[in-house]
Structure 1
Amino acid sequence: MIVVLDAGHGYGTPGKRTPDGMREYEFNREVAEYAKQELTGYHDVEVRFTHSDERDVPLKERTANANAWGARAFVSIHANAFGNGGWNTAQGIETYCPVAYSPNSNRLANTIHSRLIHATGRKDRGIKSADFHVLRETNMASILCECGFMTSLEEARLLKSDSYRRLCAHAITKGVVEYFNLMLKTTSTLSSVLYKVQVGAFRSKQNADHLAKKLTRKGFTVYVFKEENLYKVQVGAFSEKDNADRLARALSSQGYSTFIIQ
């Protein structure tokens, strides 16, 4: 089963940036990359990209590829803007469905949007419909997520941060997982070497569960297991150490003590 992640625009797209210069594509691309990394940990799903770092891929090419691949879902990832390009007070997350009624698109939108709001705690601007090309011309469940405003000083800081990008990617991943009822691969079916981020080890299971619930509420995928006499709390499982390092830094920035294990 193919899921398409579409990072909107490109590095050189005119005007698509914060007032202080962050390109929207930088955010869109990283979120798509992180979501793909997470989705590879599930059975029966293949993630494909419609975007390219070399150019702003035309919308017709993006939708034509998604249709030709026979994709089952199309998620376009964006950051929003308001006004004439200067800083202003518009904030929040909104998700778009096609104008033409599509129960599958609506269900996908509801699933992902609710997780984005829950994970980030940003203002809920709702689920809307729009006649965007990527929603109109795709033959599968299709949505477009606006993950925050580049023209909000507060949200621009978030959009630039690795931790917020990971939160958005994780929310999108969990929405896709819920929509398709995907099953997580067991450790034996993943790479033989996995890097994990440990955030706690407790003699009391109650303490481990408390930390796990706290992390889950923030949108992370958390594992609690017993090893010898300790209940260990881990977040993520990556075949590349760089990805585990990024997650560890994101968690450390939120006040957690972390270290990488394999």
Structure 2
Amino acid sequence: MRIMLDAGHGYNSPGKRSPDGMREYEFNRAVANYARSFLQNYENVTVYFAHSDDRDVPLQERTDKANRLNVDAYVAIHANAFGSGGWTSPSGIETYVYTSRPPIATQLAQRIQRNLIAETGLPDRGVKTANFHVLRETRMDAVLVECGFMTNREDIKLLRSETYRKTVAEAIVNAVASQFSLKKNSNPNPPSTNGLYKVQAGAFQDKKNADELVEKLKQDGYEPYLFQEDGLYKVQTGAFERKQNADALVSRMRSDGYETFIHLD
């Protein structure tokens, strides 16, 4: 199963921050990172990100990527706000689906909403419909989750908390796993105590060749990074504590035509 996680907005999106300065993207990306980590515990699951830490990815680019990769589910993660910039009273969690209420997306939204309310204890603002771009322009089941109000003095304390961010991610992942009958890895490898398993896709003397590979990998939905070592420009993607997760990425990349190997760093 292919799942796209969308940490809404970006570090520098205008206005997307709490009255005391927390950027919404800080919360959104943390939850997305935790969710990806949890999803790696399930069989045959591939996780993509619609967002980037380098720039605020336009909405059309996010949905085009999801459609091009033909993902099965799209989950947009947000923190809510109310008013014109100061502290306000609205609090709680709400989950959105498109106005046509697609059946599977609606069921997923209901599961996510139930889990989040049960795990966080915040007010239940319900499952709602909206004509949001990421719900309208995606060709797969899509939901958007508002995980608390940045403009509420109590909610913002939670939104800043790593414990709360992890709880939100786990509640979302448990709902996804239940909705799509995902199976836990039956024989998970123990975490590596020596470093992280990284997948290398190429090593070049000419940086131009490395840059071209990075761009191609991005177009295919991967998240590569480039660094220089031993006189070579190396392109890697993924960093895993468990080797079987790196093995799964190698298998997928090889099926896409890439020559890869696993590097323990």
The alignment partner of 2:143 has SS state of strand
- Does the 8 A contact of 2:4 with 2:47 survive in 1? yes
Deviations 1:136-184 (A, max 9, x none): 0001110000000000010001000100000100001101100111111
Which residue of structure 2 aligns with residue 7 of structure 1? 7
The alignment partner of 2:139 has SS state of coil
TM-score (norm 2): 0.72
The alignment partner of 2:166 has SS state of helix
The CA distance in 2 between the partners of 1:40 and 1:133, in whole Å, is 28
Deviations 1:15-53 (A, max 9, x none): 000100000000000000000000000001111000001
Shift of 1:192: 5.1
Which residue of structure 1 aligns with residue 188 of structure 2? 189
- Does the 8 A contact of 1:41 with 1:184 survive in 2? yes
Letter paired with 2:99: V
Letter paired with 1:55: R
Letter paired with 1:170: E
The CA distance in 2 between the partners of 1:128 and 1:101, in whole Å, is 9
- Does the 8 A contact of 1:8 with 1:77 survive in 2? yes
Which residue of structure 2 aligns with residue 127 of structure 1? 127
Q: How does 1:140-159 map to 2 (within 5 A)?
A: 140-159=140-159
The CA distance in 2 between the partners of 1:153 and 1:189, in whole Å, is 41
Which residue of structure 1 aligns with residue 241 of structure 2? 239
The CA distance in 2 between the partners of 1:128 and 1:192, in whole Å, is 40
The CA distance in 2 between the partners of 1:2 and 1:191, in whole Å, is 24
Letter paired with 1:239: E
The CA distance in 2 between the partners of 1:84 and 1:12, in whole Å, is 18
- Does the 8 A contact of 2:6 with 2:76 survive in 1? yes
The alignment partner of 2:157 has SS state of helix
Tell me if 1:104 matches 2:104. Answer: yes
- Does the 8 A contact of 2:5 with 2:76 survive in 1? yes
- Does the 8 A contact of 2:101 with 2:129 survive in 1? no
With 100-109 and 14-23 compared, the bigger mean Cα shift is at 100-109
Letter paired with 1:189: P
The RMSD of aligned alpha carbons is 1.6
- Does the 8 A contact of 1:50 with 1:65 survive in 2? yes
Deviation beyond 2 Å, 4+ runs, structure 1: 188-194
The CA distance in 2 between the partners of 1:117 and 1:101, in whole Å, is 21
The CA distance in 1 between the partners of 2:148 and 2:18, in whole Å, is 11
Which residue of structure 2 aligns with residue 67 of structure 1? 67
Gaps of 5+ in 1: 195-237, 241-262
Identical columns (%): 53
Shift of 1:193: 3.4
Which residue of structure 2 aligns with residue 138 of structure 1? 138
Letter paired with 1:174: N
Q: How many residue pairs are counted as aligned between the two chains?
A: 197
In the superposition, relative to structure 1, how do residues 90 and 72 fare at CA in structure 2: closer, same or farther (>3 Å)? same
The CA distance in 2 between the partners of 1:23 and 1:136, in whole Å, is 26
